[in-house]
Amino acid sequence: VFSQDTEFEVYEVNVTEEDVKEAQDWFDGITDTEDMIGIAGFDREDYISTDENGEEEFDEDLVYYDFSNWWNNMDDIEQVKEYRKHE
């Protein structure tokens, strides 16, 4: 449900509620952490640490967390714009 202001903005940039749903469905379907890093423009090195044995570990949980925050911090219009860049 859009507020009155949001409806105006959505109309102005030609974004429908269906577009918003499609963008959310697209986001929900992204499960590969490498895809998440690429889409959001994260630096993969930020998710690599070295364990006590000196071996590198990749923190997939942190990628999921950051990717979700990245997406959820956008409004509907920004999400649709992002979706359109990748469809």
Q: What is the pLDDT of residues 32-73, one digit of tens each?
A: 999 999 999 999 999 999 999 999 999 999 999 999 999 999
Amino acid present at 55: E
At residue 68, the pLDDT reads 97
In the chain, the N- to C-terminal Cα span, in Å, equals: 24
Question: 48 near 56, Cβ under 8 Å?
Answer: yes
What is the band of 87 on the pLDDT scale with cuts at 50, 70, 90? Answer: confident
Query: Going along the chain, which residue ranges are E strands?
Result: 48-50, 56-58
Integer Cα distance of 46 and 48 in angstroms: 6
Verdict on whether the full-model pTM lies above 0.85: no
Q: What percent of the chain has pLDDT over 90?
A: 78
Helical segments of the chain, H only: 4-12, 17-28, 33-40, 60-72, 76-86
Mean pLDDT computed over 29-34: 97
